[in-house]
Structure 1
Amino acid sequence: MSYLLSLLDKSPVADGEGATEALARTVALARRAEHWGFHRFWVAEHHDTPRLASPSPEVLIAYLLAHTTRIRVGSGGVMLQHYSPYKVAENFNLLAALAPGRVDLGVGKAPGGLPLSTRALQAAIDPQRRPSFAEQLAQLDAFLDDTIADADPLAGVVATPRPAVKAERFLLGASVESAQLAAAEGWAFVHAGHLNGDPSLLERVFAAYRAVGDGRAPLLAVAVIAADTEARAERLAAGLRMFKVHVDTGQSVTVGSVAQAEEFVRQAGAREYRIEEKTPSVIHGTAEHVRAELERLHRQHGVREFVIDTPIADGEERLASVELLARAHFTAAAA
């Protein structure tokens, strides 16, 4: 098999359970992913979201590294707009020093929550002095490489510890502009196809990244539901919904329910808004059908690595889906 599989886990909290159970399942899934042969295991960042138990990927990454031995572990991703690039560099240098050669730093541009959680996270930031995302990314890169310019007011500050093997860097996004930024900064790019699977956008993103970068293809994040029958996979996928909210401030966000969309509008204080339901981009079916679709995307776009998100809240169903895909993929790879 000429492409790699990795996993993204959001630590969903199923009905009738709490965060402890959800996080224990994330740990168990990471250990199984390592056993099955997945290349990376990433955890996400979501704020003020009772149904997702991971607002702090750095903390969870450290725990996962301690409970695995080989698989790469990382963030998918840290929501950089909320944080000091220096602190992010320190966190991931420390993780990389704890587990050399196993740490990934993925960063994203999204807020990872609704407007009030963003306001709480950024309460100490002066809006007039807030750098752009591109400036934050460049500064993070400089701290990770210890290349802060002599003329910079922060020259001489080092993000310690200095690990023997640095964290591998990824920018997560779903736009041509994000792909171009990643390529210009020398970061690997992960296209969020699980959030926007538009085929024409995928073509433009891959072309833009290759044109500016070194010719490598981006990684592709995809939502996948595998089941023992097509009918069962269809039932699991049928309950998924996605809504894009556009408000008069120019903000837009994608959420999973009308209630979340309306709460975003309320917290944003928008007078005018538009909520549109989008068709979730989910590859679903038997494991062989899913594998064939991944193979098609690999051949069409030159994808060398897929990051799999399984959008099922029920823990047993999600684990079964990942295991079916693992058996189909790694059996074919061995053959």
Structure 2
Amino acid sequence: MPYRLSLLDKSHIAPGTSGPDALAATVAAARLADELGYHRFWVAEHHGSAQLASAAPEILVSHILARTSRIRVGSGGVLLQHYASYKIAEQFSVLAALAPGRVDLGIGKSPGGLPHATRALQSDLLPDAAQDLARKLNDLEAWLNGPHREADIQPRPAILPERFLLGGSTASAEQAARLGWGFVHAGHQDGDRTSTLAALNAYEAIAGHRPILALTAFAAPTRAEAEDRVGELRFVRPVFADGHSVNLPSEDAAHEYARQYGSDDYRIEIRVPTVLAGTAEDIHEALAGLQADLGVSEFIIDQPVADRQARLASIDLIARQARRVAA
């Protein structure tokens, strides 16, 4: 098969369940993915959400590493604007020392929550520290590669975590390539082929190879069931006069974000992501088409369905079809 399959899990809290239930479902998904031969399993970071329990990826990564044996495990991704680069370097060095060759460090550039949660996370940061992401990324790479003149990190693992920047623009693609990092293009948040190609090409022009593409996919025994489970996905993006913008799940969430942000000067943009919903055969046919069209050799699949059993069934169906295709 000409492409690898990986998974992104957001710890969805299904109706009638709890945050701990969502984390247990994530761990079950990771263990199943490990058994079925997926390449990576990544966990996201979100804050203050009643729908997502993924607040601390570094802790969840450690837990999953201890309960799997082969699959690479990582963050998709740590939201660096909230933290000191030194501390993230320490955390992932510990993880890489505990599970050599299996740890991925993915960094996200968004806040990952509504403004009230962001202010709480950043309440003790120096002024403007959160916005200086370019410096933070360079510092993180320097700490990981050390030793550093001011201080070192311990333990220093034999195999560093593989580093990735997550983003949806050519600027992010170029930034990742210049750092010498991998790049994951957020096709699961924007299905525009022109912008996707621009980002993929920008990364390859510097790095010499194609990056990973994230997309939304869900498989069920029938196409009708899959489409019914997924529904009509879209992102609502408030864009403020100061240039700030963020992807949100609904217009109500966008208006609440604006209220917390303290601005009524914004416009709403609607983004429709790349969504693959159907049988496992449908999914692989679409992936093969995207691979041929875009030249991508690895897909990270974001499953939008909160129900635990449906998600596990989708993971199983996609993997079993992959084996049939490979054979």
TM-score (norm 2): 0.97
Is the alpha carbon distance of 1:64 and 1:130 closer, same or farther for their aligned partners in structure 2, counting shifts above 3 Å?
closer
Secondary structure of residue in 1 paired with 2:246? strand
| Contact 1:290 1:325 (C-alpha < 8 Å) held by counterparts | yes
Q: How far does the alpha carbon of each residue in 1:177-214 deviate from its partner, in whole angstroms, 9 at most, with x for none?
A: 0000000110000101001121001110111011122x
**Structure 2 residue aligned with 1:68:** 68
Is the alpha carbon distance of 1:62 and 1:128 closer, same or farther for their aligned partners in structure 2, counting shifts above 3 Å?
closer
**Structure 1 residue aligned with 2:28:** 28
Residue identity matched to 2:176: A
Which of 182, 201, 211 is 2:176 aligned to? Answer: 182
Is the alpha carbon distance of 1:131 and 1:222 closer, same or farther for their aligned partners in structure 2, counting shifts above 3 Å?
closer
**Structure 2 residue aligned with 1:276:** 269
TM-score (norm 1): 0.94
Q: CA deviation at 1:240?
A: 3.0
Q: CA deviation at 1:233?
A: 2.0
| Contact 1:37 1:330 (C-alpha < 8 Å) held by counterparts | no
RMSD: 1.3
Secondary structure of residue in 2 paired with 1:316? helix
Q: CA deviation at 1:76?
A: 0.3
Secondary structure of residue in 2 paired with 1:221? strand
| Contact 2:190 2:272 (C-alpha < 8 Å) held by counterparts | no
Secondary structure of residue in 2 paired with 1:113? coil
Unaligned runs of 5+ residues in structure 2 are none
Secondary structure of residue in 1 paired with 2:5? strand
1:96-175 to structure 2, matched below 5 A, reads 96-128=96-128, 132-146=132-146, 148=148, 155-175=149-169
**Structure 2 residue aligned with 1:151:** none
**In 2: Cα distance, 1:297 partner to 1:22 partner:** 31
Secondary structure of residue in 2 paired with 1:172? strand
Q: How far does the alpha carbon of each residue in 1:38-76 deviate from its partner, in whole angstroms, 9 at most, with x for none?
A: 011100000001111111100000100111111111000
1:1-335 to structure 2, matched below 5 A, reads 1-128=1-128, 132-146=132-146, 148=148, 155-213=149-207, 215-333=208-326, 335=327
Residue identity matched to 1:250: G
Unaligned runs of 5+ residues in structure 1 are 149-154
Q: CA deviation at 1:331?
A: 2.3
**In 1: Cα distance, 2:309 partner to 2:210 partner:** 33
Q: Which moved more, 1:243-252 or 1:87-96?
A: 243-252
**In 2: Cα distance, 1:44 partner to 1:181 partner:** 21
Secondary structure of residue in 2 paired with 1:127? coil
Q: CA deviation at 1:239?
A: 4.3
**In 1: Cα distance, 2:298 partner to 2:130 partner:** 34
Q: CA deviation at 1:131?
A: 6.0
